[in-house]
Each structure stands twice: as structure tokens, then as C-alpha cells.
Amino acid sequence: MALTREEELAANLEDIKSRITEASQSSARNPHEISLIVVTKTFPVSDVQILKGLGVNDFGENRDGDARPKANEVQGRWHFQGQIQSNKLKSICSWANVIHSLDDARHFEIIQKVAIHSLDIFLQVNLDGSLHRGGSTIQSLYTLAEQVNADPNHHLAGLMAVAPLGIEPEAAFSQLHEIQLAFCADFPDAAMLSAGMSGDFETAIAHGATHLRIGSQIMGSR
Ligand SMILES: *Cc1c(COP(=O)(O)O)cnc(C)c1O
């Protein structure tokens, strides 16, 4: 008999959780210090409601227009992780609790003007030098961090990255971990690391990830 959507999501979720626990144990890390964000982009609000019923409270989205109606309907901690467009920031700041993809000082200036509640902010680091998947260079990262840190209304949580196409996640995330260790020396209160997606989260855990953004392995292919 075919599985219901709820059974399917529940099974996928259990599978991912046990893989997170195993990967944490192999890296001598505490699985409780690792947060799972279920990336619900392109999936309907009915799926978000099912996930909520299964105990999920952290949802990740890439596009304001897709996310806002879902976030308005289902209470939880909503994470924006897509490329930021200035003209969408006011809306994003209305529903998001966490922004993972800040990489531009001008965007933070807009956030300071339009945000109506406090945000947790991760700075996206570019790991491939080409900037086409977004992210800040190391040079601008520190300036941006100073700027966010100086604002008492928002909280600088840490760094985020996406492993570049064509580079082994192992190489990308070990580079990221070094960047993060140096960063934390200057910003000790921003020690979170958002890294790891469906295809590479175990590698990310081995390199210090505290926030995993997992979509297709739980939701199915988009
Ligand atoms: C889509 C997306 C994810 C989730 O990707 P999956 O491979 O489906 O797990 C995570 N992070 C970002 C930035 C994304 O755009």
C-alpha cells in the first residue's frame, strides 16, 4: 500500500535524524548542539503543517513569495537562506526569524530600517571565488560582521556557506571551518556555523556545522 505523505515525511525525518546522530558520534560531537532546518521551498503549506505535527519547528525557504504565505500560516522559526534582493527585504523581515545569506552591507542597512523584530543573522561566506552562488569575500566578511555586531537590535549568529559545485565538500567545509575558527577569535558570540545540505551534511557535521539546511532528502525531489 502506498504511504501517506505524513508517513513518508515521518520516515524521511527519522532517517535524517539518525544519520545526524551517527555523524555526530563519529566526529565526537553532541547531536543536541546541531539544529536541523527542514527546507520546505517549493513544497505546499500542507507539508509544512504535517512537519509541524511531527515536531519540526525550523523551516528554511529561499524565496519571499513562496515563503511568506506559509510562514503566515504555520508558526515556527522561519529561516531565509536565498539570495537577497533589496526590494524583498521588507517582506522577508516580516516573516523570517533568521537570515542565513547576508553578504552585502547595503542589505543590512535596509534591514536596520525595515525590520520590525529582532533577527538572527548568519553571514554567507563565498568559498569558490566566483561569487555566482553568493557570499562575501573574506575581506568584506569582517567589515560586515562589525556592522551587524554593532547593532543591538539584531544578533550576529555566525557564518553560513554552500559547498561550491565542482569542489569536494570535504575540501570546501574544511576550508570553511578554518575561516570560522579565525572568525570566532574576533567574534566569540557568533560561533554558529550553517553548513550542510542533503548531499553533504555528514561532511559538514565533521567540520563543525551547527545548523543543517536539509530539503530534498526529507521532502523529496523538487
Ligand atoms: C535548496 C537549499 C538547501 C537545501 O538543499 P537540499 O539539497 O534539497 O537539501 C540548503 N541551502 C540552500 C542555500 C538552498 O538553496
Query: Mutation test of ligand 1: which of 39, 58, 83 has the most ligand atoms closer than 8 Å to its C-beta?
Result: 39
pLDDT band at 131 (very low <50, low <70, confident <90, very high): low
In this prediction, residue 168 carries a pLDDT of 94
Query: DSSP of 52-99, one letter per residue?
Result: HHTT--EEEES-HHHHHHHHHHS-SEEEE-S---GGGHHHHHHH-SEE
* pTM of the predicted model as reported, rounded to 2 decimal places: 0.97
Would the pLDDT of 66 be above 70?
yes
Helix (H, G, I), strand (E, B) or coil at 134: coil
Query: 81-90, 131-140, 185-194: lowest mean pLDDT where?
Result: 131-140
Angstrom distance (rounded) from CA 117 to CA 87:
18
Q: Which domains are present in the chain?
A: 34-218 (3.20.20.10)
pLDDT tens digits along 81-111:
999 999 999 999 999 999 999 999 999 999 9
Closest residue by Cα to atom 7, ligand 1, is 198
